[in-house]
Protein backbone atom coordinates (compact mmCIF):
# COMPACT_ATOMS: atom_id res chain seq x y z
CA UNK A 1 0.00 0.00 0.00
CA UNK A 2 1.32 3.42 -0.90
CA UNK A 3 1.25 6.25 1.63
CA UNK A 4 -1.52 8.74 1.06
CA UNK A 5 -0.55 11.81 -0.95
CA UNK A 6 -2.10 14.88 0.62
CA UNK A 7 -4.16 16.91 -1.88
CA UNK A 8 -3.12 20.40 -0.76
CA UNK A 9 -0.38 22.21 1.07
CA UNK A 10 -2.75 22.84 4.00
CA UNK A 11 -3.22 19.10 4.53
CA UNK A 12 0.54 18.51 4.44
CA UNK A 13 1.14 21.34 6.89
CA UNK A 14 -1.55 20.16 9.33
CA UNK A 15 -0.26 16.60 9.20
CA UNK A 16 3.20 17.87 10.14
CA UNK A 17 1.95 20.18 12.93
CA UNK A 18 -0.66 17.83 14.43
CA UNK A 19 1.69 15.87 16.74
CA UNK A 20 2.91 19.12 18.31
CA UNK A 21 -0.66 20.40 18.65
CA UNK A 22 -1.68 17.14 20.30
CA UNK A 23 1.10 17.46 22.88
CA UNK A 24 0.45 21.13 23.62
CA UNK A 25 -3.36 20.86 23.69
CA UNK A 26 -4.23 17.23 24.50
CA UNK A 27 -7.91 17.91 25.19
CA UNK A 28 -8.46 19.77 21.92
CA UNK A 29 -7.33 17.16 19.40
CA UNK A 30 -8.38 13.56 18.88
CA UNK A 31 -7.56 11.09 16.14
CA UNK A 32 -10.28 9.75 13.89
CA UNK A 33 -9.58 6.13 14.86
CA UNK A 34 -9.99 7.01 18.56
CA UNK A 35 -13.31 8.67 17.81
CA UNK A 36 -14.47 5.65 15.80
CA UNK A 37 -13.53 3.22 18.59
CA UNK A 38 -15.40 5.31 21.14
CA UNK A 39 -18.49 5.43 18.92
CA UNK A 40 -18.48 1.64 18.57
CA UNK A 41 -17.92 1.27 22.32
CA UNK A 42 -20.95 3.42 23.11
CA UNK A 43 -23.15 1.37 20.82
CA UNK A 44 -21.90 -1.98 22.11
CA UNK A 45 -22.04 -1.12 25.81
CA UNK A 46 -25.32 0.75 25.65
CA UNK A 47 -25.46 4.43 26.47
CA UNK A 48 -27.22 3.83 29.80
CA UNK A 49 -23.91 2.77 31.34
CA UNK A 50 -22.35 6.12 30.44
CA UNK A 51 -23.07 9.33 32.34
CA UNK A 52 -24.54 11.18 29.38
CA UNK A 53 -24.69 11.41 25.64
CA UNK A 54 -22.04 14.11 25.18
CA UNK A 55 -18.45 12.96 25.37
CA UNK A 56 -15.47 15.26 25.59
CA UNK A 57 -12.13 14.33 24.02
CA UNK A 58 -10.77 13.24 27.41
CA UNK A 59 -13.77 10.89 27.85
CA UNK A 60 -13.12 9.36 24.44
CA UNK A 61 -9.45 8.80 25.26
CA UNK A 62 -10.41 7.02 28.49
CA UNK A 63 -12.75 4.73 26.54
CA UNK A 64 -10.07 3.94 23.97
CA UNK A 65 -7.41 3.26 26.60
CA UNK A 66 -9.74 0.92 28.48
CA UNK A 67 -10.24 -1.14 25.30
CA UNK A 68 -6.59 -1.53 24.25
CA UNK A 69 -4.87 -4.62 25.63
Give the Cα separation of 36 and 67 in Å (integer). Answer: 12
Write the CA distances from 47 to 10, 14, 20, 52, integer angstroms. Answer: 37, 33, 33, 7
Could you tell me if residue 3 is inside a domain?
Answer: no
Could you tell me if residue 21 is inside a domain?
Answer: yes
pTM as predicted? 0.52
Look up the domain containing 29 and give its range. Answer: 9-67
Q: What DSSP designation does 56 have?
A: -
Q: Read off the pLDDT of residues 4-42 as tens digits, 9 standing for 90 and up.
A: 777 888 888 888 888 888 888 877 878 888 888 877 877
Q: What is the pLDDT of residue 52?
A: 59
- What is the dihedral angle through the alpha carbons of 23, 67, 1, 20, rounded to the nearest 10 degrees? 0
Phi, psi (5° rounding) for residue 24?
-75, -35
For the chain, the domain total comes to 1
Amino acid sequence: MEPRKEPTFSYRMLRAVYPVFQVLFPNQAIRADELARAMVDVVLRQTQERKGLVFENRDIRVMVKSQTP
